[in-house]
Amino acid sequence: MNAASAKSQALRRPVGRPYVSPPIVLGVALALAAGLIAPLALAKSLPIVAGLTLISLLALRLDELLTVLIVAFIVLIEFYGLLGYFNVPMSALIVLIFIGVILWGRPRWLRLVRPYAIAWIPIILLGGLRVLGSPALREALYYYLDVIVAPLLMLLLGMLVARDTGHFRRLLTLLAVFGGLLAVHSIIQSSTGIFLLETQRQSDYLSSTTGFALSGSGVSRAGSFLLNPDWNGAFLALMIFPPLGLFFSATSWGARVFSVITLALIAAAMLLTYTASAWLASAFGLLVFLWLGMRGRTRWYTLGAIGVVGATAITTLHHQFLLLYQHATGNNEVSLRVGAWETALRVIQHYPLWGIGYGQVNYLTRAEPYRVALQVVPLAHPHNAYLELAALGGIPLLLLFLLVLGIAARAAARTLRQVPPHDRPLVACVLASLAAFALVNMAINGWTLQPLAAIAWLLLGAAASPLLTRSLSGFSGPAALAHSARQSSGVLAPSNETVTAGVHS
């Protein structure tokens, strides 16, 4: 048998059947909840529940579900503090174990993702040295883990989970579900004033900020589990595009209805955050999606349809959009951010190579001597993730950060060129999300905020996955369409990894 025939047979080899069915997965989850959470205090049983859940999902090969549960854990447990706070970065340990399990016995997968880990070594080393020079060592260490180390783990996790278009689609679908659930929470908070699953810390935080009420209106901005409406707006701007990509690549009406409902919920929730930067970034991301994901007349038809929907929404929700405009143009809204940027630039001017050290409390104290008149109040960060990295860690750290970001983005663009036409919107929606997120970071600290950075790097890793690119390398023309149709069936069904030439060991 020649090499071409062997490759053809490998590419046609059927995908393995799942070990178990979804009902069994639900049964396992219910058993864990009834047998462990009920008899024990929730906070004390969390490590046991987390460990057994991790083992169960790994054994059942539900990689995408486990990945999104890790994202939920980062947002709800580690960041929001639903069950209190932990002194150990549990999510990083879970991701590290998860990556190790996936790579176990797969040396070729390791060789494919290893270049990205190697590219990260300079920023790991330089960032680690800056920890030693920071005044508050504990705060600096947590900042280093959240901003420098954890993004690498999430990038690699995205690359390993999205190993073909089927896994990629399932990951985006589950992330869209998670985004839709948090959107519902935001809508309930803004429309009723009720904060579901509120903690005492959250209650105190909202009291200290008067509930983020808009001046003169009595309307509160929705921060949800992201605490601050600006952070929540950035999260929703990041999550609004996966449903859009799923809609244009869907093969059934049920999938399209799901996408439309999720998209509408996220857009409504983003409006209720009254965050202008999130809307501007989303508009930019939409242009990127239309440019990369649409072809020919479809691009213009889609743009026209979005214009009609947008005009209808503005007419129907005129009061909400008016509040959004008033908040964006209110007193000190723009001037305060400009002042924060100028303060950060002055800090960078005085500490260009080494920065002032990691941590928001550290910045609040050490940036105060350089505060300009436009920044009328002390701030814990400069409301710009790029300036924050340069101010805290130095210009070389920012340049290395942009370098690894550019390397991964270039790999994602390469995936876009190779993906079959039907699945092109899936990759385009991720690139649109990242474009919107990169822009919104000019006004917030998204790249340096644990939950937002984790999701962004996960999406980037999924789109840049060399395993995904390799799985597509043997397909073209009708074969690509047939492969795409097979991978898109059973959106939430678990499966063994697809056997493709050159991917498996």
Q: Which residues pair with 220 in a beta bridge?
A: 213
Number of structural domains, the chain? 1
Residue 429, domain member (yes or no): yes
Tell whether the model's pLDDT for residue 22 goes beyond 50.
no
Backbone angles phi, psi at 14, to 5 degrees: -70, 155
pLDDT of residue 1: 46
Q: Which residue has the tokens 């630039």?
A: 345
Say yes or no to pLDDT of 17 above 50: no
Residue 303 forms part of a structural domain: yes
**Position 173 confidence tier, pLDDT thresholds 50, 70, 90:** very high
Would 2 be classed as within a structural domain?
A: no
Per-residue pLDDT averaged across 459-484, rounded?
73
Q: Would you state the pLDDT for residue 50?
A: 64
- Helix then strand then coil, in percent of the chain rounded to 5, is 75, 0, 25
Hey, what are 108's tokens? 């070729």
Residue 37 lies in a domain: no
377 CB-near residues (< 8 Å, 6+ apart): 336
Closest CA to 186 of 270, 122, 118: 270
Instruction: Tell me the C-alpha distance between 487 and 481, whole Å.
Output: 10
Residues above pLDDT 70, as percent of the chain: 83
Band (41; pLDDT cuts 50, 70, 90)? very low
Residue 443 has pLDDT above 60, yes or no: yes
Q: What is the DSSP letter of 15?
A: P
Q: Is residue 464 helix, strand or coil?
A: coil
Whether the CB-CB separation of 289 and 241 falls below 8 Å is answered with yes
Of 149, 198, 138, which is closest to residue 401 (Cα–Cα)? 149
* Assigned domain for 352 exists: no
- Position 118 in a domain: yes
Residue 44's pLDDT band, with cuts at 50, 70 and 90, is low
Q: Quick check: is 425 in a domain?
A: yes
pLDDT of residue 488: 45
SS3 label, residue 459:
helix
Question: How many helices and strands, by DSSP H and E, does the chain display?
Answer: 24, 0
- Which of 251-255, 386-390, 395-399 is predicted least confidently? 251-255
* Alpha carbon separation from 157 to 54, 73, 263 (Å, rounded): 15, 15, 25
**Which carries the bigger pLDDT value, residue 152 or residue 36?**
152
pLDDT score for 87? 64
Residues of the domain holding 249 = 107-331+392-488
Instruction: Say which amino acid occupies 152.
Output: L
Structural domain includes residue 341: no
